[in-house]
Amino acid sequence: MKTIAVIGSGSWGVALSIHLASMGHNVKIWSFDAEEARLINEEKKCKFLPMAVIPNNIICRNDFKEVIEGADFILHVTPSKFTRNIVKQYKEFVDCDKQPIIVCSKGIEKDTALTLDEVIKQEIPNARVGALSGPSHAEEVSIAVPTVLVSASKDEEVRKLVQDTFMNEKMRVYTSEDIKGVELGGALKNIIAFCAGVAAGLGYGDNTFAALITRGLTEIRRLGTKLGAESNTLYGLSGLGDLIVTCLSEHSRNRKAGKLIGQGKSIEETKQEVGMTIESIDNIEVAKHLSEKLSVSMPIVDAVYDILYNGLDPKEAVRILMTRDKKMED
């Protein structure tokens, strides 16, 4: 059995911790919030996962050194916009030879347009880095709903370590060398899921969702391959799979955010009602910047950006998308 450090006490960090603890591993979670740590340690609850019960082999602390010391590897599970700052705080405690860092967050750093594994490598050049992603909601993983993920890394030992540690009858884990594709698929799908939420808020149906998923995947592939991802990865679990689950599920905070916007709520009202990080809103500006910089056509991304930041009415955004110039499917 292993000891795993989990940096981040949000829903996904706790759900992964519950899965690992159920397999007999010892898990140490870092939280910035003393009350969240108390709730996990004393009441065996997570405020984000009301149906989940925290096993006894999970502890939560507010001290990086205490959590990281003695761990076999580290799961990084904080919102993308906080990743660099958090890594700066814990990097002195990481034994780069013995403790790989696995990115479980989904996003792109706004100021640099770097994927999160690249952010970690900038801050800890000798770190062994991987990513774990795929179609998964914390609410379901925390209650052992069968789930399939992808462990990605250029380092074969790292991706197999994650596969071996996580895999059981409730979780299947594939491996991939394409960490860039796995990360980009996970980050960019949130924007399309936001758009699917807008469609739900406007009262549209299955035809619309199917079109958004299909054309949204085309946009993800266009940008992803320009940035070095492999097409097969983006058509796989961490691309298409994650896109489907995030666009169609009521568990998705990105879809929920879009639905609220579609119903007429403001961005601030939406953030307050969702109550958790909305990665699509955090990442839309960098996706828009990259599409323009690389001359990649992304009309759905453009529409989401204009809804959020240029006051475009969601119904007008749909009209614009539907009446674009005629073209062949690509």
Task: List residues with catalytic annotation.
Answer: 189
Strands (E), the chain: 3-7, 26-30, 58-61, 73-76, 101-103, 129-133, 147-152, 171-176
| Angle (deg, nearest 10), helices 299-309 and 314-322 | 160
Nearest to 226 by CA among 180, 279, 170, 179: 180
Tokens of 160: 């197999």
Longest dimension (CA), the chain: 61
326: DSSP letter: P
Q: Which residues contact 271 (CB under 8 A, 6 or more apart)?
A: 257, 278, 281
**Alpha carbon distance 213, 219 (integer Å):** 10
Nearest to 38 by CA among 48, 49, 46, 27: 46
Question: Does residue 137 contact residue 226 with C-beta atoms inside 8 Å?
Answer: no
In angstroms, the Cα distances linking 32 to 8, 61, 93 are 8, 8, 17
